[in-house]
Copies of this chain bind each other. A is one copy, B any other.
Amino acid sequence: MTFQEAFPVWNKLHSGQQDLILSNLRFQAVKKGTMLHNGDTECTGLLLVKSGQLRAYILSDEGREITLYRLFDRDLCLFSASCIMRSIQFEVSIEAEKDTDLWVIPAAVYQRIMEESAPVSNYTNELMASRFSEVMWLMEQVMWKSLDKRVADFLLEEAAIEGTSELKLTHETIANHLGTHREVITRMLRYFQSEGMVKLSRGAVAILDERKLEALRE
């Protein structure tokens, strides 16, 4: 896949804009676990995923995390370039959850094109609306949904992403995704295990009864 194929509104750019992007583009191959953007660091730029998986999350003062959303192939990450809009007043962190190939578009370049191009600006609107929707979904989960449902949901989603029911996940990792404490997750997983839904082993959770987890989810 070339950048031109991956970038969503490439054909709506005129050639001057295309040249500006291509001559400022940077390709990066990063290892799993790499921090790509820290809430409080400089404006990293827009990240376009070629292949791999990124995770966007927020961090509390005490170091607790909660996952906001994931980015997969062809997804564009806007909030690593939050300087392009002055109204973005929150900080997210972005890390590579898998080995990831990506392109970095410098913030100033994207901003300049967005300001003059209605298609790029409208695309950016759709992009933000789609992240906003994910965060609103999460908010509703956190507000109204009990933790057992959220854990069941998370395990099933992971199984779908990884294409396996044998999940390599520590309790700490699950807690960081869901914004809670490790002890709370351990207690919940033990309950799931006692109900025959999962089998726990060191650094791993195996889903035994998907239908029972599904039922819990609703």
Checking B61, B130, B140 against A87 with a beta-carbon cut-off of 8 angstroms, the contacting residue is B130
Task: Find chain B residues with CB under 8 A from A116 CB.
Answer: 118
In the bound assembly, the distance between CA atoms of A58 and B144 in angstroms comes to 11
Task: Find chain B residues with CB under 8 A from A127 CB.
Answer: 87
- Counting chain A residues whose Cβ lies within 8 A of the other chain, the interface size class is 35 or more
Q: Is A85 engaged at the interface, CB distance under 8 Å to the other chain?
A: yes
Query: Quick one: closest B residue to A82, CB to CB?
Result: B129
Checking B62, B122, B128 against A129 with a beta-carbon cut-off of 8 angstroms, the contacting residue is B128
Checking B85, B118, B128, B130 against A115 with a beta-carbon cut-off of 8 angstroms, the contacting residue is B118
In the bound assembly, the distance between CA atoms of A130 and B117 in angstroms comes to 21
Could you say which of A101-109, A131-139, A208-216 contacts chain B? A131-139
| Contact indicator A179/B143 (Cβ below 8 Å) | yes
Given A118-B118, A122-B121, A144-B64: A135 and B128 interface contact (C-beta under 8 Å)? no
In the bound assembly, the distance between CA atoms of A137 and B58 in angstroms comes to 11
| Contact indicator A143/B88 (Cβ below 8 Å) | no
Q: Please list the residues of chain A having a beta carbon within 8 angstroms of any beta carbon in chain B.
A: 58, 60-62, 64, 66, 85-90, 114-118, 121-122, 124-133, 135-140, 142-144, 179
Sample of 7 A–B contacts (CB below 8 Å): A86-B126, A88-B132, A90-B133, A124-B125, A132-B135, A135-B136, A139-B139
Checking B121, B142, B144 against A139 with a beta-carbon cut-off of 8 angstroms, the contacting residue is B142
Task: Find chain B residues with CB under 8 A from A86 CB.
Answer: 126
Given A60-B143, A90-B137, A139-B138: A122 and B132 interface contact (C-beta under 8 Å)? no
| Contact indicator A142/B144 (Cβ below 8 Å) | no
In the bound assembly, the distance between CA atoms of A103 and B119 in angstroms comes to 27
Checking B129, B140, B144 against A85 with a beta-carbon cut-off of 8 angstroms, the contacting residue is B129
In the bound assembly, the distance between CA atoms of A126 and B82 in angstroms comes to 11
